[in-house]
Structure 1
């Protein structure tokens, strides 16, 4: 597919997805969201891809939010459908992705941009990053999972303060709150994301997928996360990777996992 709003490149086992609307601070319009789903689905079904890095074009913004012009004219039902479809096709899709997804946050990550970053499994921020959920200044609230994921990451009190004040927080504050995993200089942002992803890719792919499933279960109220962990733990014993991992450990050699 020829992308109009993304730059997509596969290098080694990493797929790089760059939101490429720099003149609009990489705002997420409907076409960009559609392309993002296509790119992610391609990564998911491409056996050569082990993980994904998502970032924004240029030094000013990761994603500065949704394209607000597209909200004009929506009514209650069309807004409900918009939030439902985008949560399912993009934000929940990323969170439940069976391959690791790392957000490399450069500059502004606001509104839908912060929601996109929070859906990723790991977040790395450059030291110039500014994050926030300013939807209440528009008479809205976050609609792509922001109220839920921010609460899970930073706690109820901080989530309510960030959402209700609409204040932006710095990268250092985001790190202190637990919103991002690491803060680095701008020139080290992608290399830090690559370093972490490469470490993950050295481990058993099916175990990584199982870990994502089990950890995600911790944030769900309709299922027992401990039961999910037990099931995922048990299923690992039926994989070739488990046999290889044990054999390599006992033989004092490096494992050669195949994702089977």
Structure 2
């Protein structure tokens, strides 16, 4: 079933992709230094070209996920993560859709054993393993997998017309890429239950009130604001940024007791870095720090 048909079925596009490794293995991976991606656009932004921008570019399908699009996103994220000049990343879509909709025919033919044996949905592990911070700049629909992709990012900025939701229940499945897990941790059990059990959509303003979205901006400025945030983050030590990101994620995923232990060890670890020395020296000397990411 095409994206347009799915709109008619459930009243909104559903982004829920089950991917088979056998198909993914046939996908060609590209270097992000080469501008020949098919379904994404990749460029560096900011005054110092230190923010990696990934734009989902499958407009006719509302940026619906497919095997190749996901592979290209992973490739671009890994390339930016290794780029010493890039300190943060922004991922976005179009004003109409961040990412929404999928061809249900890809799911309709699968069995339980197909899903298990192929390691379905394992493909996002490389995305979430990125050391550098990733900001989602969401406009339009972020439903199903699109909402899950936004939640995989470290910060979400949303355009005022953005729509979020997990409508998988309406086609007889459940979220499978974090929709029941990250959403629950972000907004609490009751609200998450309401969202995933009804399949309803909620606005950017509602998402901000829930704590899912950091800030809401006019549609035409959300990407620019996300890039500005990326520039601010990238002006810090890239090394320390990554350590801090890891510590916050640990708080998200473990108990307070274990999280405090982890944070303390990470704090001690920063004293072995050159950037810690530079940062403190710059503060004492009342000058701007010149971090070397070491």
Task: Give the structure, 1 or 2, with the largest relative contact order (CA under 8 Å, sep 6 or more).
Answer: 2
1:258 counterpart residue number: 292
Matched, 1:204 2:204: no
Q: Using the TM superposition, name which of 188-197 and 130-139 deviates more.
A: 188-197
The structure 1 residue matched to 2:258, chosen from 224, 236, 250, is 224
Asked if structure 2 preserves the Cα contact closer than 8 Å seen for 1:118 and 1:149, the reply is yes
Pair 1:84–1:188, CA change in 2 (3 A): closer
TM-score, length of structure 2 as denominator length: 0.83
The structure 1 residue matched to 2:157, chosen from 105, 124, 136, is 124
2:131 counterpart residue number: 98
1:51 counterpart residue number: 88
The structure 2 residue matched to 1:25, chosen from 62, 68, 76, is 62
Asked if structure 1 preserves the Cα contact closer than 8 Å seen for 2:279 and 2:291, the reply is yes
Pair 1:67–1:251, CA change in 2 (3 A): farther
2:19 counterpart residue number: none
The structure 2 residue matched to 1:85, chosen from 122, 125, 136, is 122
Pair 1:203–1:128, CA change in 2 (3 A): same
2:73 counterpart residue number: 36
Match runs of 1:65-214 below 5 Å: 65-80=101-116, 81-89=118-126, 93-94=127-128, 96-214=129-247
Deviation at 1:218, TM superposition (A): 1.4
2:120 match: secondary structure: helix
Q: Using the TM superposition, name which of 190-199 and 163-172 deviates more.
A: 190-199
**CA–CA separation in structure 1 for the residues paired with 2:103 and 2:145:** 9
The alignment's C-alpha RMSD in Å is 1.5
**CA–CA separation in structure 2 for the residues paired with 1:242 and 1:77:** 50
1:8 counterpart residue number: 42
Greater Rg over alpha carbons, structure: 2
2:207 match: secondary structure: helix
1:83 match: secondary structure: coil
Deviation at 1:67, TM superposition (A): 4.1
Asked if structure 1 preserves the Cα contact closer than 8 Å seen for 2:167 and 2:196, the reply is yes
Aligned length: 255
**CA–CA separation in structure 1 for the residues paired with 2:105 and 2:151:** 23
**CA–CA separation in structure 1 for the residues paired with 2:189 and 2:236:** 34
Unaligned runs of 5+ in 2: 1-29, 31-35
TM-score, length of structure 1 as denominator length: 0.94
